[in-house]
Amino acid sequence: MATAKALEPAFQGVGSRPGLEIWRIENFKPVPLPKSDYGTFYAGDSYVVLQTSAGRGGAGVFAHDVHYWLGKDTSQDEAGTAAIKAVELDAILGGRAVQHREVQNFESDKFISYFKPCIAPREGGVKSGFKKPEEEEFETRLYTCRGKRVVHLKQVPFSRSVLNHDDVFVLDTKEKIFQFNGANSNIQERAKALEVIQFLKDKYHEGTCNVAIVDDGKLQAEGDSGEFWVIFGGFAPIGKKVLSDDDVIPERTPGKLYSIDGGKVGDQIEEYSKSTFETDKCYLMDCGFEVFVWVGRATQVDDRKAATQAAEEFLTSNNRPKATLITRLIQGYETHAFKSNFDSWPSSTAPSAENRGKVAENRGKVSALLKQQGGGPKGKEKNAPVVEEVVPPLLEANGKLEVWSIDGGAKNPVASEDVGKFYSGDCYIVLYSYHSREKKDDFYLCYWIGKDSTEEDQNTAAKLTTSMFNSLKGRPVQGRIYQEKEPPQFIAIFQPMVLLKGGLSSSYKSYIAEKGLTDETYSPDNPSIIRISGTAVHNNKTVHLDPVPASLNSHEVFVVHAGSHLYIWQGTQSTYEQQQWAAKIAEFLKPGVTAKYQKEGTESATFWLGLGGKEDVSTNKVSFDTIRDPHLFGFSLSKGKFEVEEVYNFDQDDLLPEDILILDTHAEVFVWIGQAVDPKEKKNALDYGQKYIEWAENLDGLNPRVPLYRVPEGNEPNFFTTYFSWEPLKTQIHGNSFQKKITILFGAGSAEGAGNQGGGNTQRAAAMAALNSTFGSSGGGGGGGKAPGATKNAGSQRRAAVAALSGVIPDAKIDEPESPEKPEEAPEEPIEPSEPIPDDNDSEPKVAIEEDENGILSSQSTFSYEQVRVKSENPAPDIDLKRREAYLSVEEFESVLGMTREEFYKLPKWKQDLTKKKVDLF
């Protein structure tokens, strides 16, 4: 085991809050990089990069990714030092980080996602010396742009011979930046290249240079096209793409497993499963485009260093392309990409008897070492506060609710007095119509599957729900909900919601008769126990249990029908809110009947007699909290195999119109469908979602009955958008990825020359400028807008801007927020129900907010909670409406949010927003 002295002191105390930390290797030592230099890498250097993110275990639990980046001109010694320091950093973090080797021009998507849209390494380094960009003389550069999520930007020789029909190029000159779209180039890569142009414009041109787009095959002597070719010495036909060694991207291949012994890659293991991996050994999994090094928990630091070096030698000896990735994993922290090489990856179990002693011994060594270093493994602290579940936004209240039960192959309306009663032997269709904003109808359409329902009824419910979805022209959010997995949005529209035993459908009755089963269908006249647990609007469903004493629990309240009496039984640890809700449930189930109250320990003999005799009741508290951990995935079907690819550090711009994507929060699965997707593919969306659930069940332990939603682009509900920094105006712009990006990017900033070429530039710039002034830029999550008094004038300006833009980008369609005539063709954006329309000066609040080095916000001017809350009757003036919590005093901050500032700002942004929404601060 490595000694304490061997581990790098520069890494002490790192990884304790979400975010990036970067070190450059200087004289074989890691030196912290100033935050102002994050994203700037030099080809002659090597770097160690740590990304800390919130883990699935709640507050205080972190996941770590350690990357070591090797510039193309870095020395072998520096590269080796970076690899070793990455292992030492992992040891400081408790030995659970995922490690990645990153080679210049061949970086992983995950690495580039930290620096969206791209990284543009500079020449030079520590030893050779380097200048800051502002000190350099401007040099015309030519780049290729590859990738539709993140951009792999590569500088290529400035020569006409490099241009081809297959790629997208960016030519960066002193006065103008050109984008050249090869005739066969990908439309999504064209869109991402626009982000690169904005990046270069801001970073190296102070945001002032012109921009031009040149299309392959559309030559004009004058205008941007002519100017572009003059820079290359005149127009000449361009040739086919010539592949070099650097262009060879290895393909994904079935995994081949090898053992690593004594720092060397051993023989291939022909047949393998999760049980093959031993906790005190290391293995290499070769998947073609990526090589994984798996290390057991009981391995030592020196063994882990040797395993990483063995992977490097494996690639060299087999002449593998430079683009091959190396990823090192620790047992128990395997990634989706690694586990996808297996048919299943069962949940972790206790170590075998022969390994138990080794694991305990190793843990002791690690703990002792870290204690000696003055550090400790990063994760949930022993006495970390328990954070209350953060609930996604609920749907707007006061909508229209319709419910149908399934029977005899048809749907039958449920009587109003029975809406909210769900029988476990039945299936139901639910349609909730509501207004997410003025003049806009939204629909939440689901079918609910009882746990004892028949396959016949389930299939009928699915078929009829899809038919209703189509009749509403594909606008609703469509969901499949299983009993006992009801999401907060579903529960909240039923007040109350009661899950009852048995069923009323003819199919269910036939089934139990055929099987000779007892009919347990709830009847107001039969003995029953109804459990009251949650009391919040999102979790106050109640459940029908067996009428026996064992069903009772000291932490809950129960409505008990025993004999001829109706009781409300109160556990000693129950709450007043539970007792109040129990009274409402009793009236709902047996209207007009007066219930008698029974307190635990003081029950009457008649009460126990009705339940068959007195017995001890349970005292175990049941937790219903749900941990949400959002991940976005693309997917493909290759030779019948369902394969997924994660979209790292995702945002709204990753939702491309040509794609179907899957958002998995571990509590819900959303299938998002872009408007430009083929209609046949759209019909299969829920089937793709089911395939993903089966995949994630086998490899990630996802519950197979997790709620499944189909979300059409333009009709995203608030409980979907809450996982993004959402800008509603983006959803109003139609067209392909490239057309939308032109409108969004250049309409929100400088718009000179955003079009193709020639005389359209002036018109296009004017249209973009008009859009910029009328639409403005929108902040994340809550949306933006004009003050109410400006609405009428803004509407006319907006229509003029849209008309101007339509004339110069004819294929791009832009929905006006105030044109509801054809809502089915012009889906509009959802907005957060609790967010007010911000004033024009939201972005520049007069009451300043300070941010310390740990990212904790505060203000010298404090206001009471009543003044900063969204629905305040006496609102504080001139505050930042997106950072209301920053103005609370220390005491009131902890009282309202239930945690310290330090704990709050360690949460990921989406959890911060959800926490604030819960207490009316967002």
What is the C-alpha separation between 130 and 150, in angstroms, rounded? 27
How confident is the model at residue 213, as a pLDDT?
A: 92
For tokens 């006496």, the residue is 874
Pair of tokens at residue 592: 């007009």
pLDDT at position 813 is 44
> Comparing C-alpha atoms, which of 922, 912, 920, 921 is closest to residue 387?
912
How are beta strands 596-599 and 631-638 bridged, if at all? unpaired
Residue 562 pairs in a beta bridge with: 565
Distance separating alpha carbons of residues 334 and 18, to the nearest angstrom: 20
Please choose, from the candidates 139, 159, 134, 216, the residue with its C-alpha nearest in 3D space to the C-alpha of residue 182: 216
Structure tokens at 506: 């003819």
Q: Burial level of 525, CB count in 10 A (0-12/13-18/19+)?
A: exposed
CA distances from 870 to 78, 399, 723, 835, 885 (A): 53, 22, 20, 7, 11
Averages of pLDDT over each 10 residues, the chain, 922 residues = 59 89 94 91 95 75 93 93 92 91 94 93 75 66 92 92 94 95 93 93 87 86 85 88 75 92 92 93 94 93 89 92 91 91 75 39 38 39 46 89 96 96 98 79 96 97 96 94 96 96 97 94 94 91 95 96 92 94 95 94 93 91 78 88 91 94 96 94 94 93 95 94 89 87 66 36 40 39 35 43 42 41 38 38 64 82 90 87 89 87 81 80 85
Residue 687's SS3 state is helix
**What confidence score (pLDDT) does residue 845 get?**
56
> What CA–CA distance (Å, rounded) separates 659 from 72?
34
pLDDT of residue 57: 60
Q: Which of these, 485, 719, 529, lies nearest to 624 by C-alpha position? A: 485
Which value, in Å, is the radius of gyration of the alpha carbons in the chain? 30
Joined tokens for residue 451 = 């746990």
- The reply to whether omega before 121 is within 30° of 0 (cis) is no
Tokens of 523: 């009847």
Nearest to 191 by CA among 134, 151, 222, 251: 151
- Residue 420 sits at the vertex; the CA angle it makes with 706 and 685, to the nearest 5 degrees, is 35
Nearest CA to 125 among 20, 27, 202, 9? 27
Cβ contact 920:871 at 8 Å: yes
- The pLDDT, as a whole number, for residue 385 is 40
Nearest to 718 by CA among 731, 706, 705: 731
DSSP 871-903: T-SSPPTT--TT-GGGGS-HHHHHHHHSS-HHH
Find out whether 300 and 274 touch, Cβ atoms under 8 Å: no
Tokens 């400028």 -> residue? 769
What pLDDT does 747 receive? Answer: 61
At residue 252, the pLDDT reads 86
Question: Do the Cβ atoms of 144 and 168 come closer than 8 Å?
Answer: yes
What pLDDT shows up at residue 348?
Answer: 60
The residues near 523 (Cβ < 8 Å, ≥ 6 apart) are none
- Give pLDDT, residue 785: 34
Phi, psi of 406 (to 5 degrees): -100, 130
* pLDDT value for 259: 94
pLDDT reported for residue 756: 39
* pLDDT at res. 58: 58
Peptide bond into 817 cis (omega under 30): no
* Interatomic CA distance for residues 526 and 561, integer angstroms: 7
Q: Are strands 596-599 and 421-423 parallel, antiparallel or unpaired?
A: unpaired
Instruction: Return d(Cα 193, Cα 367) in angstroms, integer.
Output: 48
Rounded Cα–Cα distance for residues 843 and 25 (Å): 39
